[in-house]
Structure 1
Amino acid sequence: MKPVIIAAALSAAMGATAVQAESPFSTTGYLRIGVGESAGGDLAAMQLNGAWAKYRLGNEDDFYGEFGIGIDAPLGNGSAVIGGLRYHIAGDSNDLTDRGSFDASVALREAWLGYRGLGAGALDEAAIWAGRRYYKRKDIHINDFYYESYSNFDGYGLGVENIALSYGTLSVAGFRERFNRVHTYDARLENIALAENWTGEIGVAFADARGDATGDNGIALRGHVQRDGFFGGYMKASLMYSNGAAFGFSADGAPDVGKDRSLLRAQMHGLVPLDDRTELFFVALHQIDDNDGEQSKWTSLGLRPHYALSDNFAIATEIGYDRVSDDSGDRDLLKGTLAGIYTFGQSGFWDRPQLRAYVTRGSWSDVGAISKQEAYGTNTAGTTVGLQLETWF
């Protein structure tokens, strides 16, 4: 069964279409795959120890694909059956070379079913659902950081979403961690009109530690705002706090985290056009992991300008800086990438597929500051070159 799933995922990611437009079924997919070298050896991504993410352009040493099938089947009363099924395939890019031994993992990521159109008025677009799903994730694209992810990859959940209120839309959900050590209950009010071009969201989650969990119950509080039309683009900002079993803003929780450990996170990111051909993605992030007075602070700043040379060619550069301060001292990583891109006739920042040839240079504060120091010997700087294809639909 697994080879069939893998073949379907790769075929769909490259653009094959097997479902007619009028069908209640739809497909979705993603693929990134490539090869390269770091310091003349195996490809090794540069990520600072203690940082929760890395800047990804020319800095990914894995291959990853997803293939999903969704259903939105209208019923005679104006309601609909909704749901989805999604698998992923993942592995090490070095396994694709003559030096590697191919090995990949295949996993179920989504399997859920729901019913939309629970009634009239506030319930007209409301839906009830159950299963495993990507639930209202929030991410920063250029460092692939999901700063809020109540997607229950290892357990299951159920909820009611999109209840229309006069001041926003309400969604509530509950999730069970795979080993039944944490139950997380989440409520959020989305699409709050704040001012012209400004919308907001507030959320709260309670994590109940149970069974053989060694941690304590916890709570997560989140506030998000979005500004559309921000210098012609958009901007998103957040302020978030969590502790105990709610640490990390995850549906699966943190079963072994005590009430004396907390996480405070603030982030801002967005995409703005600089002219007709140039777009700029920006990131500013800071978080404090406080474990009963012992703190680890992570600061991250990043820029990715994307310049369209023509309909088929573009150039992207990316500069990312990460700094971590904890009881072992301070360490940092500065990473820069230059990529030439073939865009297959669509050259915007979000357009895919993209075939990239890149060179990446990174420097870090001391030996061992990055997670894959062994790839660079005792150096505190290194260069990576490679070729990568990324596409989604």
Structure 2
Amino acid sequence: MSNKSLFLPLGMLAAMACPLVAQEAGNDQAALIRQEIQQMRQEYEARIKQMETRIAELEQEQKAVASAPAAPAAAASQSVPPHSHIASSGSSSGGAKAGIASTDVVVPEGFKFEDVTKGFTFNGYFRAGYGVNSEGDTMEAFKAPGAGSKYRLGNEAETYVETDFGYTFPELDLSPGTEFAVHFMPAFVLANSRDDARSDISVRQAYGTAKGVWDAQPEAMFWAGQRYYDRFDVHMTDFYYLDMSGFGGGVEGIDLGIGKLAVAWFGGSIDDYSSDASEVLKETNNKNSLDIRLSDIDVPGGKGMVWLDLAHSDDLSRPNGNNVNVDSSTGAAVGLLYETDVICGGRSRTMVQYGVGAAGNFRSTQADYSFLSLPDDMDPALEVDPDDAWHFRLTQDIIYQPNESWGMQGTFVWDEVDVGSAADSRNSWISGGARAQYNLNDYFSLALEAGVDHVDTFDGVNGNLYKVTFAPQITPGRDVMSRPALRLFATYATWDDDLEGFVAPTSYGMDTDGFSFGVQVEAWW
């Protein structure tokens, strides 16, 4: 038999055997696939069961929250922007008028906002509206000369916006409790009387923070840049009686047992709505300040804070074009703040401040003395010695909300200052006012604000300004600090003869009273 004839039967046998082997291999693969499908089915059934259990738990939690008694509306302090609390150590990620805190929001257990925002935060404040005077022209604000502020309800003639953008770097592999963050806040302002619809832009904040990097002080936070720094204000007048905001750096939240220590160095800030930081504005930025605060101190009935500012400024010649020569100066300022809860709901804050020399204006910036209203052709220029300057201020700020039907804000300010110039250098300002709010229901309310400012200025102007505003408004809640607020307002103001030409001079330069009517929206978040 030839080899060829031998290979032929063997080939036929191999061909017949191949389908049998393939069939057996196919059977094994099918069994393996069926086994994997069965395992996947069991896993998915287990996951679905877990999800159903979790959904049932969340439904029970929501029912428990819905059936819980509502928090008393009297807790007005909970609706105050976070920056206004004494123990906040100046964290301004919410900005001057931040919104509600995360603790005010009910979320499922284990849920993190960072999972949605991916490390980004967005806070802000704005107000906008339009008003007219008694002649139908664009309204003008009523403010007394020499006064540090004005009663703002129905008395703001501009659009103002602050937007704070933050990032917390969630991609970093950091230890629990450690956080790095950056913040950037541009601000926009547009006077309602302008007809070119062009807004001025400035940078209000641009700074970075590091927290949880000091083992001995895990709550301490280091920062550097330009920022709003632990500001204290009267909301109804927008009066910041302690505001050291500016360029610098420091550390805050150091726990000393008796309170929280914060130390910061400031080099001043450009507080004009200009984005180009012009050379003229830079002339008033030659001041250095060391700010030291001990806050969150337990005192009878509330909390206290001690503030110390040490400052030095160099010589200035005609700052911002004003006809003065300013000597160099070293000075200091101190302040005591007391905050307590008010019976029946709310909070009261009182602060006393006194400063001399370069620290006498309670700011990180140096004054340009434009308030002296000196003639441009005066020769020689007026000499100013800040070492002869002093400043006293007493501020009372109260928010009171006894029940859901009504609430109020109130303030009193006594401010005496001598700027140390060779000419008239004394200015006196005393202010008192209140804003009451009556709630018609959960959304509609009626607000009534009345205030008086007494001034005795550097120019020898002496008199009173009286202002009252009625404003129906719509807010999302009954709290006096509930925002957003949409308002319709009517404002009437009258002033003494000695103030004629100084209050709303464009609209009412030859009068001693005036009227405004308009609408406004105000919000923070």
- TM-score normalised by the shorter chain: which range applies? 0.7 to 0.9
Alignment partner for residue 185 of structure 1, among 282, 285, 290? 290
Alignment partner for residue 332 of structure 2, among 185, 208, 219? 219
CA distance, structure 1, for counterparts of residue 133 and residue 218 of structure 2? 54
Give per-residue Cα distances to partners, 1:100-146, cap 9 Å, x unaligned. 2212111111000111113234x110011100001101100000000
1:51 and 2:183 matched: no
1:81 and 2:169 matched: no
- Secondary structure of the corresponding residue to residue 259 of structure 1: helix
Deviation at 1:77, TM superposition (A): 4.8
Residue in 1 that maps onto 2:118: 23
Residue in 2 that maps onto 1:260: 388
AA at the equivalent of 1:58? G
Alignment partner for residue 378 of structure 1, among 510, 513, 519? 510
1:202 and 2:298 matched: no
Residue in 1 that maps onto 2:215: 120
Matches within 5 A, 1:223-372: 223-254=336-367, 258-292=386-420, 294-326=425-457, 328-343=460-475, 345-366=476-497, 367-368=499-500, 370-372=502-504
CA distance, structure 1, for counterparts of residue 114 and residue 254 of structure 2? 31
Give per-residue Cα distances to partners, 1:279-318, cap 9 Å, x unaligned. 0101011010124585321000010001111122111000
AA at the equivalent of 2:495? W
More helix, by proportion? 2
Give per-residue Cα distances to partners, 1:204-238, cap 9 Å, x unaligned. 11111136563411111111000124442100000
Alignment partner for residue 34 of structure 1, among 114, 125, 129? 129
- Secondary structure of the corresponding residue to residue 143 of structure 1: coil
CA distance, structure 1, for counterparts of residue 315 and residue 388 of structure 2? 20
Deviates more, 1:278-287 or 1:266-275: 266-275
Q: Is the 8 A contact 2:433 2:450 kept in 1?
A: yes
- Secondary structure of the corresponding residue to residue 177 of structure 1: coil
1:132 and 2:236 matched: no
| Aligned sequence identity (%) | 29
AA at the equivalent of 1:109? R
**TM-score of the aligned structures, taking structure 2 as reference length:** 0.67
1:387 and 2:515 matched: no
- Secondary structure of the corresponding residue to residue 44 of structure 1: coil
Larger Rg: 2
Q: Is the 8 A contact 1:137 1:146 kept in 2?
A: yes
CA distance, structure 2, for counterparts of residue 276 and residue 112 of structure 1? 40
**Alpha carbons of structure 1 residues 81 and 55: separation in structure 2 relative to 1, 3 Å:** same
1:167 and 2:258 matched: yes
CA distance, structure 2, for counterparts of residue 39 and residue 359 of structure 1? 11
**TM-score of the aligned structures, taking structure 1 as reference length:** 0.88
Give per-residue Cα distances to partners, 1:142-191, cap 9 Å, x unaligned. 00000010111xxx201011100111000000011354511111101000
AA at the equivalent of 1:202? V
**Alpha carbons of structure 1 residues 43 and 215: separation in structure 2 relative to 1, 3 Å:** farther
CA distance, structure 2, for counterparts of residue 115 and residue 304 of structure 1? 40
**Alpha carbons of structure 1 residues 329 and 66: separation in structure 2 relative to 1, 3 Å:** closer
Q: Is the 8 A contact 1:184 1:253 kept in 2?
A: no
Deviates more, 1:268-277 or 1:38-47: 268-277
CA distance, structure 2, for counterparts of residue 310 and residue 220 of structure 1? 46
CA distance, structure 2, for counterparts of residue 88 and residue 379 of structure 1? 34
AA at the equivalent of 1:245? A
How big is the alpha-carbon RMSD for the aligned residues of Structure 1 and Structure 2? 2.1
AA at the equivalent of 1:187? I
**Alpha carbons of structure 1 residues 19 and 383: separation in structure 2 relative to 1, 3 Å:** farther
CA distance, structure 1, for counterparts of residue 203 and residue 197 of structure 2? 20
